[in-house]
A and B are shown apart, each in its own frame.
Chain A
Amino acid sequence: MGPVYDAIERKLTEELSPTSLEIVDESAGHADHLGMQEEPHKFAGGETHFRIDVTSEMFEGLSRVKRHQLVYKILDEEIKNAIHAISINAQAPE
């Protein structure tokens, strides 16, 4: 997988010890966007839109907002520099 994908996987695994983690690169679905055509070099490599489904005990007791904020904090670098959009589903184990 690409470097951004790997970084996301590594960081989330390290920080959250998730019981389940699924990362989907959804960039291809956005390839026809205006932004992509204005700056193709930026989006040429995919790795711009991700969907993340993560289950971790660390989310227990946290509100939805706090869970997302935690993931945002962990992936701060990727969000600032590489990722264009991110969709998060953060669950605590049943």
Chain B
Amino acid sequence: MQPLSACLTAASIFKLAFVVLSCMAAIADAFSLSLPAHSSSLRQRSPSRALRRHTSALYESLLDSAPSPPEADQLDEATRERIAALVRENPVLVFMKGTPEQPQCGFSNTMMQVLQVCGVQRFKAVDVLSDERIRQGIKVYSEWPTIPQLYVNGEFLGGSDTAVEMYSSGELQELLEVAQAS
């Protein structure tokens, strides 16, 4: 595992950014293109093991560490409609922490890697870190307390563990094919 320095200095931020970027380098280009040839080595190893090794070195924050005020657990109508529209309009939709180029969490990173390995050409990523209402609202909407969250063809599939499981069984690739054909 990548050792990090003990205090939050510029150097440790730099190191963390380097680790994130070096892992993300392939994804940054690839997520909008078809799967490049060199990634085929990823398929030969057990996918969940390879992905877990990648994620273990990154900052993982599956749950929000910031406490949410009671009102935040409510889902107001405007936010509900926004989420419903996102689900309706995007065949492949991910609510994540950070962006596909720079995931801010190990589990969101895993989700990105799964989508990349499946060769997803086009998907919508919503960065919950930049929208507090969506961040809390989506947990109520999906009845799922954690981020990331994957919607395919308007159906909520689950988080990164589920994505890895469904990738291993081949289910995910099938669903994604249908979604991308629509």
Contacts and interface: CB of A to CB of B under 8 A. Distances in A.
Contacts of B107: 85
Interface stretch (A2-10, A11-19, A54-62, A63-71): A63-71
Contacts of A30: 60
A35 interface: yes
B interface majority secondary structure? loop
A64 B155 CA distance: 12
A79 B73 CA distance: 14
B158 A32 contact: no
A35 B62 CA distance: 11
A11 to B, nearest CB: 15
Interface of A: 29-30, 32-35, 37-39, 42, 49, 64-65, 68-69, 72, 76, 79-80, 83-89
Contacts of A42: 65
A33 B159 CA distance: 21
Contacts of A83: 63
A33 B104 CA distance: 12
Contacts of A32: 1-4
A85 B59 contact: no
B145 interface: yes
30 contacts: A29-B56, A32-B1, A32-B2, A33-B4, A33-B59, A33-B60, A34-B59, A35-B59, A35-B61, A37-B4, A37-B6, A37-B8, A39-B65, A64-B158, A65-B156, A65-B158, A65-B162, A68-B144, A68-B158, A68-B159, A69-B143, A72-B143, A72-B144, A83-B63, A84-B60, A84-B62, A85-B60, A85-B63, A88-B161, A89-B161
A49 B4 CA distance: 19
A72 to B, nearest CB: 6
